A and B are shown apart, each in its own frame.
Chain A
């Protein structure tokens, strides 16, 4: 059943204090699908993620996960059952060993060996570096580690905020290859990126936000440069 909806924001508006920054945003991620959420600086991409993971409560509209209304359920409760969010800036513990970073992230009581294998299967380089301090990894490897930490939670929903920030294109391509493989295993993925090209190659569908409004929703491969720049400019 590739069509079942796993993550859905329905007509969501959200605000910081009195300033509304998301207006009537609707996004749908199905099982095993990669959805790219694009848009310029300040468009509201991170805010959308915050609503989707339960960190922020929308002022109107609703959040549905596995076809159930979970608006208002706190982020920690959602995270515990398998809604995994990897925030901007990685969120790893630089002073801990690679393997401790991974083990700490796990949500269940599967054996340590199983948890490590879940992560190393996709990132063999981390297995080689498992006894190294996380802070001494390269930027790309650190991003791999944050993905590996996500996988250690055995997620059903995975949200990635600006994963490619500060990384070389080749490294980014490698990371996205893994993201594709993760989605193929059945995980629903929502990826936020500011620069479109890298992610559009792997995404099934795309949503473009600008000034908190959805300007485009549709298949990723139908989003040509012209449509994209029109959507960015918000016309």
Chain B
């Protein structure tokens, strides 16, 4: 063990306590992703209704800016967050499952000898 490893360890343990469970952050980001996607779609729909409701070109431009562009950006960012964190979870479960099956397969092969 290196010099200073215990001090590093002590700091890391302290950080664990203050940062709390990591799973929670992940769940929160996943929820944030879903919210952003919904907000984006809502903005786009509102923008569309506003554009249809007026013949003034300047008002239509403003509606496109909030509804079309901002809505689109929010939806894309939301979708990225959502995918990142839902797939992360899925991949972890999948890896654990693979390892598990791999092991029971080995056990079966050994037992069948």
Contacts and interface: CB of A to CB of B under 8 A. Distances in A.
Interface string B85-101: 00000000000000100
Contacts of B110: 135
Interface residues of A, number: 24
Given A186-B1, A186-B5, A187-B1, A66 B10 contact: yes
B1 A185 contact: yes
B6 interface: yes
B13 A81 contact: yes
Contact of B6 (A68, A77, A156): A156
A105 interface: no
A21 interface: no
Contact of B13 (A66, A95, A135, A187): A66
> B interface, by DSSP: helix, strand, loop or mixed?
helix
Contacts of B10: 66-68
Interface string A76-90: 011001100000000
A77 B14 contact: no
Contact of A68 (B1, B5, B14, B22): B14
Closest 5 CB pairs of A and B: A81-B12, A186-B1, A66-B10, A156-B9, A185-B1
Interface of B: 1-2, 5-6, 9-10, 12-14, 16-17, 21-23, 99, 102-103, 106, 110
Given A68-B13, A68-B17, A156-B6, 17 more contacts: A4-B6, A65-B13, A68-B14, A69-B17, A70-B17, A77-B16, A77-B21, A78-B13, A81-B9, A81-B16, A82-B5, A95-B102, A95-B106, A154-B1, A156-B1, A156-B5, A186-B6
